[in-house]
Amino acid sequence: QLKLVESGGGSAQSGGSLRLSCIASGGTLKYYAVGWFRQVPGKEREGLSAAYSENGGSFSVDSVSDRFTTSRDDDRNTVYLQMNDLKPEDAGIYFCAAEPGSWFRQKRIRDNIVGLSASEFGSWGRGTQVIVSS
């Protein structure tokens, strides 16, 4: 069973950068699409960015597309979220999630999915906290 562990969270100043890591075990991550989500108290998990499987590219939602980027290192079974120009509203718990890659892509095309939804992913990490001070 695929297990995901996030790391790299912590405190940053407004305008600073952080790079989160999502390390997988129990499976080969390159065959999975991986997404990043943020959750703050009282709100649903917000989809931010994702990478398709097998170097199929990545995308970020409009609200963070100029600042957040997902990349993969399949040799390390790891996916990263690079976050630049951090703002106080970026604070929250960040989760990575994975879904078998072929099904993820097919479903997005079939259902004409725009954005990134938590319901698209079946495997989740436990999260890492990000704090941004102004």
Radius of gyration of the chain from its Cα atoms, rounded to whole angstroms:
14
Distances 91 to 12, 14, 79, 94, 131 between C-alpha atoms, Å: 9, 10, 20, 9, 5
Mean pLDDT score across all residues of the chain:
95
Q: What is the model's pLDDT at position 91?
A: 98
pLDDT digits over 90-103, tens only? Answer: 999 999 999 998 88
Q: Is residue 4 scored above 90 in pLDDT?
A: yes
Q: What is the model's pLDDT at position 56?
A: 87
Q: Is residue 12 scored above 90 in pLDDT?
A: yes
Residue 99, SS3 per DSSP? strand
